[in-house]
């Protein structure tokens, strides 16, 4: 290359550089000129800052580009945050998908967002105010008050055994004369009861007369003591001593006043030593035998006040007290007997009458109380739903103590002034117990996908997983809809199924799709959560009594097999119209409220089942009348 050519090239490059620099200078001068047109009062205060910014921009033009990039990144992050993380089944938070679809129960999957997921992880559920109103949510404050520890029970009026005398002869003989005629006769103390003839008693009198004739004081005292031991009245002794005559018939008198009970003799009866003739009971004071439950035992103390009324005289209330608490618990009824004492001056209380009694606790100490309806009993723990901020709720565990008809004592878990939910808490608690279920409270509409293939749900067991081929070998139950018997087959695993969840020996519910070319596809799965100990009877009763039918259905079916050890039955059920589910054969767990013996093989049944923690639980069996 020649020197001239080199100089021309350099000149051209220099010219281009000058033109670019001039353009840049004009551009910045124009921008600065725009700033110079700001009113003077503002310009004075910002001149230095503007100059510095201008200078910094001249020396570091990449700063403006970085700021723009940050703004774009922030907007992108905000948009990403509003996108769902995944979709989840409303009834099983273990069933997750990366796009909208259907759950194994035919329900639309609901999206889970980042913020909702954070709230769910904290156990907080946020409900739309309109939904709160529709649910009828009511709240109450936790406060200190005195428990009304009165115990209501029933009892039976009995004789006061402290004032009950049993009449027995102490010598054999014949009843020559009976002065009382029937059970229930009223007798006074000292009144004649019966006359007895006894040869042995005659001999004892003759010996007494002989000792009197001998004038031996020691023998006289011994003979008198023998007659007294035979219950000879003192008046009879005095008469024998004065008349020196033996009485063939000796009269016996009443030891106390009262009513005759259990009269077992008549005139002419021969009675032996120890024979029970009858009893005499004083009804001026009576006992009431009542029973209280095991959990109420420690609330009762001797001397506690008791009120009582009877059905035949409801306007009158008797006042008494706890006389004695029996130390033994009845193993069959799990109750403790309590003896109550009542005065009966007008004799209106009769033995064997039934009575309603109320035992009043004398403890005046105040406890931290919540309404009884706010408590959720699960068998494993006790919970309440805590109302936080507006529309936010959280289910928490509490430890409870004593209770009365309306309130329950809280030992731990709550503080005075806390606000708790007292209605619709069971639904909110179920939401607060599951991560995904919170979203059933929102107004989000899920996108449903039409089913284009022949599909059926059944229970199966994974025998082998072939990850490289996306296939599984599994043994499924008989599928009556397709006339398939129970057998082991290979299935292609659909792309929307997470094959990593499958492992050898896993039992689960599967959806099998059959394409037009006869190819069988494992199109959906439902891995059942382990039940462990099922919920308590109080929760099953709450499920049966609940008006919420979103997780329960009534259907007809035929029992195929029964597993008594696991309390499971295999049933071919009919279609469920409200869920859009076709007929299927599946396993059901029998509620602890029902007996497994109520199910018979090949029996046609009408039943209601509920979905609890992913399991299908039979909660009710209906008879032919639908009851």
pLDDT digits (tens, 9 = 90+) for 19-65: 554 444 434 343 334 333 333 333 443 434 444 444 444 444 444 44
The last residue of a domain, from among 469, 504, 526: 526
Is residue 591 a contact partner of residue 619, using CB atoms and an 8 Å limit?
A: yes
Per-residue CA distances from 371 to 139, 199, 409, 621 (Å)? 10, 76, 9, 32
User: Looking at 61-70, 123-132, 486-495, 610-619, which range is the least confident one?
Assistant: 61-70
CA distance linking residue 486 with residue 491, whole number of Å: 15
Mean local confidence (pLDDT), 187-215:
88
pLDDT score for 533: 36
pLDDT score for 358: 92
Evaluate whether residue 458 is within a structural domain.
yes
Q: At what angle do helices 40-59 and 62-81 cross, to 10 degrees?
A: 100
Percent of the chain's residues with pLDDT above 70: 74
Is residue 370 a contact partner of residue 419, using CB atoms and an 8 Å limit?
A: no
Q: How many Cα atoms within 13 Å fall on the side-chain side of residue 352?
A: 1
Whether 481 and 504 map to the same domain: the answer is: yes
Whether residue 322 has pLDDT greater than 50: yes
- Using DSSP's 3-state secondary structure scheme, residue 438 falls into helix
Is residue 167 a contact partner of residue 192, using CB atoms and an 8 Å limit?
A: no
Is residue 283 a contact partner of residue 164, using CB atoms and an 8 Å limit?
A: no
Whether 175 and 262 map to the same domain: the answer is: yes
CA distance linking residue 621 with residue 510, whole number of Å: 27
Contacts of 508 (CB under 8 A, 6+ apart): 459, 460, 461, 462, 525, 526, 527, 528
Contacts 24+ apart (CB under 8 A), 574-581: 578/549, 578/553, 579/105, 579/106, 579/107, 579/553, 580/106, 581/105, 581/106, 581/457
Q: Which helix (H) or strand (E) holds 166?
A: strand 164-167
Whether 264 and 308 map to the same domain: the answer is: no
The last residue of a domain, from among 484, 501, 526: 526
Mean local confidence (pLDDT), 507-527:
80
Q: Which two tokens stand for residue 208?
A: 């007494």
Is residue 198 a contact partner of residue 172, using CB atoms and an 8 Å limit?
A: yes
Contacts of 56 (CB under 8 A, 6+ apart): 63
CATH of the domain at 257: 2.40.50.100
pTM surpassing 0.85? no
Q: Which is higher by pLDDT, 321 or 111?
A: 321
Q: Which is higher by pLDDT, 322 or 104?
A: 322
**Mind listing the pLDDT tens digit for each residue in 455-473?**
887 888 899 998 877 888 9
Whether residue 554 has pLDDT greater than 60: yes
Ramachandran category for residue 381: left, alpha or beta (phi over 0 → left; psi -120 to 50 → alpha): beta
Mean local confidence (pLDDT), 9-28:
48
Whether 190 and 241 map to the same domain: the answer is: yes
Mean local confidence (pLDDT), 539-547:
44
Whether residue 366 has pLDDT greater than 60: yes
Evaluate whether residue 499 is within a structural domain.
yes
The last residue of a domain, from among 359, 377, 398: 359
pLDDT score for 115: 59
CA distance linking residue 247 with residue 195, whole number of Å: 11
pLDDT score for 289: 95
At residue 9 the predicted structure's pLDDT band, cuts being 50, 70 and 90, is low
CA distance linking residue 291 with residue 260, whole number of Å: 28
pLDDT score for 535: 37
**Mind listing the pLDDT tens digit for each residue in 591-616?**
866 788 889 999 999 988 888 766 78
Whether 417 and 342 map to the same domain: the answer is: no
Whether 407 and 474 map to the same domain: the answer is: no
pLDDT score for 320: 94
Evaluate whether residue 20 is within a structural domain.
no
Strand partners, 522: 493, 512
Return the ∠ at Cα 321 (arms to 320 and 326), rounded to 5°.
Answer: 135
Is residue 155 a contact partner of residue 290, using CB atoms and an 8 Å limit?
A: yes
CA distance linking residue 593 with residue 620, whole number of Å: 9
At residue 388 the predicted structure's pLDDT band, cuts being 50, 70 and 90, is confident
Whether 173 and 250 map to the same domain: the answer is: yes
Evaluate whether residue 186 is within a structural domain.
yes
CA distance linking residue 158 with residue 339, whole number of Å: 10
Evaluate whether residue 69 is within a structural domain.
no
Whether 419 and 497 map to the same domain: the answer is: no
Whether 197 and 249 map to the same domain: the answer is: yes
Is residue 344 a contact partner of residue 390, using CB atoms and an 8 Å limit?
A: no
CA distance linking residue 627 with residue 619, whole number of Å: 13
Is residue 173 a contact partner of residue 192, using CB atoms and an 8 Å limit?
A: no
Q: What is the mean pLDDT of the chain?
A: 77
Instruction: Work out how many domains the chain is built from and give that number.
Output: 6
At residue 116 the predicted structure's pLDDT band, cuts being 50, 70 and 90, is low
Q: Which two tokens stand for residue 205?
A: 């009198």
**Mind listing the pLDDT tens digit for each residue in 405-450?**
788 999 999 999 999 988 876 666 665 554 333 344 443 333 334 3
Is residue 465 a contact partner of residue 412, using CB atoms and an 8 Å limit?
A: no
Mean local confidence (pLDDT), 363-383:
84
CA distance linking residue 135 with residue 550, whole number of Å: 14
Residue positions counted in the chain: 627
**Mind listing the pLDDT tens digit for each residue in 224-258?**
888 888 888 888 888 888 888 888 888 888 989 99
Whole-angstrom Cα Rg for the chain: 47
CA distance linking residue 116 with residue 126, whole number of Å: 8
CATH of the domain at 345: 2.40.30.170
CA distance linking residue 135 with residue 391, whole number of Å: 12
CATH of the domain at 483: 2.40.50.320
pLDDT score for 117: 54
Q: Which is higher by pLDDT, 314 or 66?
A: 314
The DSSP string of 152-180 is EEEEEEEE-GGGEEEE--SS-EEEEEES-
Phi and psi, residue 53, nearest 5°: -65, -40
Q: How many Cα atoms within 13 Å fall on the side-chain side of residue 190?
A: 3
Is residue 391 a contact partner of residue 127, using CB atoms and an 8 Å limit?
A: yes
Evaluate whether residue 612 is within a structural domain.
yes
Domain that holds residue 489: 454-526
CA distance linking residue 524 with residue 494, whole number of Å: 8
Whether 265 and 203 map to the same domain: the answer is: yes
Q: Which two tokens stand for residue 571?
A: 């049933």
Evaluate whether residue 514 is within a structural domain.
yes
CA distance linking residue 466 with residue 469, whole number of Å: 6
pLDDT score for 532: 34
Whether 519 and 551 map to the same domain: the answer is: no
């Amino acid at each position: 290359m020649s020197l001239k050519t080199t100089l021309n090239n350099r000149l051209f490059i220099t010219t281009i550089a000058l033109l670019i620099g001039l353009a840049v200078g004009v551009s910045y001068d124009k921008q600065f000129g725009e700033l110079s047109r700001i009113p003077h009062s503002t310009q004075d205060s910002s001149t230095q800052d503007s100059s510095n910014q201008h200078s910094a921009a001249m020396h570091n033009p990449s700063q403006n580009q970085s700021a723009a990039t940050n703004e774009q990144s922030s907007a992108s992050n905000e948009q990403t945050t509003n996108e769902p993380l995944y979709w989840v089944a409303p009834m099983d938070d273990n069933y997750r998908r990366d796009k909208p679809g259907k759950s194994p129960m035919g329900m639309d999957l609901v999206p889970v967002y980042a913020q909702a997921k954070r709230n769910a992880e904290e156990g907080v559920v946020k409900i739309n105010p309109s939904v709160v109103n529709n649910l009828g949510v009511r709240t109450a404050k936790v406060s200190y008050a005195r428990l009304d520890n009165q115990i209501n029970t029933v009892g039976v009026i009995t004789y006061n055994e402290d004032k009950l005398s049993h009449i027995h002869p102490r010598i054999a003989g014949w009843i020559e004369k009976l002065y009382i005629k029937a059970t229930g006769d009223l007798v006074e103390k000292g009144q004649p009861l019966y006359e007895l003839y006894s040869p042995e008693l005659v001999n004892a009198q003759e010996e007494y007369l002989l000792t009197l004739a001998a004038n031996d004081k020691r023998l006289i005292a011994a003979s008198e003591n023998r007659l007294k031991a035979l219950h000879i009245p003192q008046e009879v002794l005095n008469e024998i001593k004065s008349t020196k005559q033996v009485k063939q018939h000796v009269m016996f008198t009443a030891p106390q006043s009262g009513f005759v009970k259990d009269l077992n003799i008549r005139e002419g009866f021969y009675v032996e030593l120890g024979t029970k003739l009858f009893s005499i009971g004083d009804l001026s004071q009576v006992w009431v035998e009542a029973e209280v439950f095991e959990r109420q035992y420690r609330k009762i103390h001797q001397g506690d006040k008791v009120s009582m009324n009877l059905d035949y005289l409801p306007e009158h209330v008797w006042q008494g007290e706890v006389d004695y608490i029996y130390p033994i618990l009845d193993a069959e009824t799990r109750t403790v007997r309590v003896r109550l004492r009542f005065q009966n001056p007008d004799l209106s209380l009769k033995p064997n009458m039934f009575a309603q009694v109320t035992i009043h606790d004398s403890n005046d100490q105040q406890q931290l109380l919540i309404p009884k309806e706010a408590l959720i009993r699960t068998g494993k723990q006790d919970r309440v739903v805590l109302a936080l901020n507006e529309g936010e709720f959280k289910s928490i565990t509490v430890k409870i103590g004593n209770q009365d008809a309306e309130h329950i004592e809280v030992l731990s878990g709550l503080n005075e002034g806390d606000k708790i939910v007292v209605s619709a808490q069971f639904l909110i608690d179920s939401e607060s117990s599951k991560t995904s279920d919170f979203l059933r409270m929102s107004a989000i509409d899920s996108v449903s996908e039409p089913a284009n293939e022949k599909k059926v749900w059944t229970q199966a067991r994974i025998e082998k997983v072939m990850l490289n081929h996306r296939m599984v070998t599994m043994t499924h139950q008989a599928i009556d809809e397709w006339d398939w018997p129970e057998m082991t087959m290979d299935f292609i695993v659909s792309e929307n199924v997470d094959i990593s969840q499958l492992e050898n020996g896993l039992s689960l519910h599967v959806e099998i799709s059959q394409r037009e070319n006869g190819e069988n596809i494992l199109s959906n799965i439902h891995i059942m959560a382990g039940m462990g100990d099922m919920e308590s009877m109080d929760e099953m009763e709450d499920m049966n009594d609940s008006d919420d039918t979103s997780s329960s259905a009534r259907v007809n079916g035929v029992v195929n097999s029964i597993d008594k050890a696991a309390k499971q039955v295999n049933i071919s059920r009919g279609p469920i119209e409200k869920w859009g589910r076709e007929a299927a054969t599946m396993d059901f767990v029998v509620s602890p409220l029902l007996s497994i013996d109520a199910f018979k093989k090949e029996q046609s049944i009408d039943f209601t089942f509920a979905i609890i923690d992913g399991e299908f639980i039979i909660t009710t069996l209906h008879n032919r009348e639908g009851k």
